Amino acid sequence: MSVHYSTVSLTLLALAWPAGAQTNWPWFRGVNADGIARGAATARVWNVEKPENVLWKKAIPGLGHSSPIIWGDRLFVTTAVNERKTAPLKVGLYGEPASAEDNDFQQWRILCLNKRTGEILWDKTAHEGVPKLKRHPKATHANCTMATDGTNVIAFFGSEGLYCYGMDGHPRWQKDWGTLRTSPMVYDDAPFPQGMDLEWGFASSPIIYSNRVFVQCDVLTNGFVAALDLADGKEVWRTRRDDTATWSTPNVYANGPRAQLVVNGWKHMGGYDLRTGEPIWRMSGGGDCPVPTPLVWNGLIFLMSAHGPRKPIYAVRTDAIGDVSLRDGASTNRYVAWSALRGGSYMQTPLVYGDYLYSCQVDGVLSCYEARTGRQIYKERLGNGGDGFTASPVASEGKLYFASEQGSVFVVKAGVDFSVLATNRMGEVCMATPAISEGTIFFRTQGHVVAVGERE
- Per-residue pLDDT at 20: 40
CA distance 399 to 422: 10
- Per-residue pLDDT at 456: 66
Q: For the chain, give percent helix, strand, coil, nearest 5.
A: 0, 40, 60
Strands 260-263 and 448-452: unpaired
244/392: higher pLDDT: 392
CA distance 250 to 266: 14
Q: CA-based angle 446:164:109, to the nearest 5?
A: 30
The mean pLDDT of 287-295, rounded to a whole number, is: 90
Of 192-201, 307-316, 317-326, which gets the smallest average pLDDT? 192-201
Q: Is residue 12 part of a domain?
A: no
Strands 322-323 and 279-283: parallel
The mean pLDDT of 59-82, rounded to a whole number, is: 97
Flag whether the pTM goes above 0.85.
yes
Do 206 and 214 touch, CB atoms closer than 8 A?
A: yes
Q: Is residue 240 part of a domain?
A: yes
Q: Is residue 14 part of a domain?
A: no
Do 453 and 441 touch, CB atoms closer than 8 A?
A: yes
The mean pLDDT of 295-299, rounded to a whole number, is: 97
Q: Is residue 147 part of a domain?
A: yes
* Backbone φ and ψ of 159, nearest 5°: -65, -15
Using one digit for the tens of pLDDT, what is the confidence trace for 128-186? 999 999 988 899 999 999 999 999 999 999 999 999 999 999 999 999 999 998 765 44
Using one digit for the tens of pLDDT, what is the confidence trace for 95-142? 766 888 899 999 999 999 999 999 999 999 999 999 999 988 899 999
Do 179 and 191 touch, CB atoms closer than 8 A?
A: no
Using one digit for the tens of pLDDT, what is the confidence trace for 202-241? 999 999 999 999 999 998 888 999 999 999 999 999 999 9
Q: Is residue 13 part of a domain?
A: no
Do 444 and 65 touch, CB atoms closer than 8 A?
A: yes
The number of angstroms, rounded, from the C-alpha of 60 to the middle of its chain's C-alpha atoms is: 20
- Per-residue pLDDT at 322: 98
- Per-residue pLDDT at 184: 54
- Per-residue pLDDT at 386: 87
Q: Is residue 205 part of a domain?
A: yes
In this structure, the number of other CB atoms found within 10 A of the CB of residue 240 comes to 12
| Total number of domains constituting the chain | 1
419 pLDDT exceeds 90? yes
DSSP string, 105-162: -EEEEEEEEETTT--EEEEEEEEEES-SS---TT--S--S--EE-SSEEEEE-GGG-E
Q: Is residue 174 part of a domain?
A: yes
Domain CATH code at residue 420: 2.130.10.10
Percent share of the chain, pLDDT over 90: 78
CA distance 265 to 269: 4
The mean pLDDT of 327-332, rounded to a whole number, is: 94
- Per-residue pLDDT at 257: 85
CA distance 391 to 447: 16
- Per-residue pLDDT at 197: 61
- Domain extent, residue 300, equals 2-7+19-452
CA-based nearest residue to 263, from 230, 293, 235, 222: 293
In this structure, the number of other CB atoms found within 10 A of the CB of residue 67 comes to 29
Mean pLDDT of the chain: 90
- Of all helices (H) and strands (E), which one includes residue 313? strand 313-317
Percent share of the chain, pLDDT over 70: 91
CA distance 436 to 291: 22
